[in-house]
Amino acid sequence: MKSEKLTYSLKIENWELKIGLLAGFVSLLVTNFFGFSVTPTQLIFFLFPAAAFSYGKSREDKAEKNRFSVSRAQRILIVLVATLTAFSLFCISRYWYADTLFARGKSESGKNKIDLASKDLGKATAIMPSQPLYHNELANVFTKVALAFSQQGDADNTKRFVEFALAESDKAIALSPANVNLKRARTGIFIMLSTIDAGFITKAQENLIETIKQAPTDAKLYYNLGLTYARSGQPAKAEEMLKKAVELKANYKEARLAYGILLINEGKNSEARPQLEYILSKIDPNDSLTKQALESIK
């Protein structure tokens, strides 16, 4: 008799619990429909069905679940899945650590903390040698180190780090040959190294010419090529490249200003004036360098 009463009592409690959960769920639907939803209400929205499902299980089902046995094949599968999961987490953690080192090294390079930058970037490239950006940033750091040794008059270390910089740049481009930004960065390395050896200006020009074939509408490439020609004493070619840069991008202030100054240096004041006036009237009316250049030919 007591057993029957207990069973009846449990049935009533389960029924009341189900009614309560259903009522709560319906009231939440009404609230979301006529009011607004926030994160806690959305959490509760999904917890109601979960609670109903959990409490709706009978004791027999739970007992059956506890008696559930795992076969040998299932154990093997569990081990395999766990191993693959652990390996995936390991790979992700390595990538995260390498990326953290890269970001820190790049920041240190920007602050001229070259020793720390070279160590962090060296570790990053060792962990993830297939990342072209890592090699490119390390090439920039090695270039700065080479310039520092050059200023100290240390020829051996200068030569060594120039070779390191070029090797890292080569690796970056080999890993991503279609990346124009990497080739543009290589031009910057050549220009910086030209303070050590003027022959690197020619290498910068060759690199830009090849890059332009890949991106013929990039005005900045023509601008940089024009500057290298001007620096190497080839004003005619420099004028041609700067003119092309302005044609591709009319509001390119730096290219138009360089073009105007080059024309002034060549004695072509009448051609330079419209370029400078265009900057002041349509790009930057307050540019002091343009005003100075325009004043010089009045």
pLDDT digits (tens, 9 = 90+) for 60-81: 455 555 555 667 887 888 889 8
SS3 category, 107: helix
Residue 184 binned pLDDT confidence (cut-offs 50, 70, 90):
very high
| Per-residue pLDDT, 59 | 47
Rounded distance between C-alpha atoms, residue 193 and residue 198, angstroms: 8
Cβ 242 vs Cβ 225: under 8 Å: no
Tokens 């090699």 map to which residue? 135
Vertex 24: Cα angle to 18 and 28 (nearest 5): 145
Q: What is the mean pLDDT of the chain?
A: 85
Rounded distance between C-alpha atoms, residue 231 and residue 235, angstroms: 9
Length of the chain measured in residues:
298
Q: Comparing 37-41, 175-179, 220-224, which segment has the lowest mean pLDDT?
A: 37-41
Cβ 278 vs Cβ 248: under 8 Å: no
Identity of residue 121: L
Within 13 A of 22's CA, how many CA atoms are on the CB side? 7
- The distance in angstroms from the start CA to the end CA of the chain is 116
SS3 category, 101: helix
Phi, psi of 67 (to 5 degrees): -85, 0
| Per-residue pLDDT, 56 | 56
- Residue 225: CB partners within 8 Å, gap ≥ 6? 205, 208, 209, 212, 241
pLDDT above 70 as % of the chain: 78
Sign of the CA dihedral 246, 252, 255, 259? positive
| Per-residue pLDDT, 218 | 94
Domains of the chain with bracketed CATH: 2-55 (no CATH), 90-194 (1.25.40.10), 217-298 (1.25.40.10)
| Per-residue pLDDT, 146 | 95
Token reading at 122: 């060296």
Q: DSSP class of residue 35?
A: S
| Per-residue pLDDT, 3 | 47
Phi, psi of 268 (to 5 degrees): -100, 65
- Residue 207: CB partners within 8 Å, gap ≥ 6? 183, 186, 187, 190
Neighbours of 225 (CB within 10 A): 25
Rounded distance between C-alpha atoms, residue 265 and residue 157, angstroms: 39
Q: Which of 100, 73, 102, 194 is nearest to 143 (CA)?
A: 194
Token reading at 3: 């057993």
Rounded distance between C-alpha atoms, residue 144 and residue 195, angstroms: 12
- 12: pLDDT strictly greater than 90: no
Residue 32 binned pLDDT confidence (cut-offs 50, 70, 90):
low
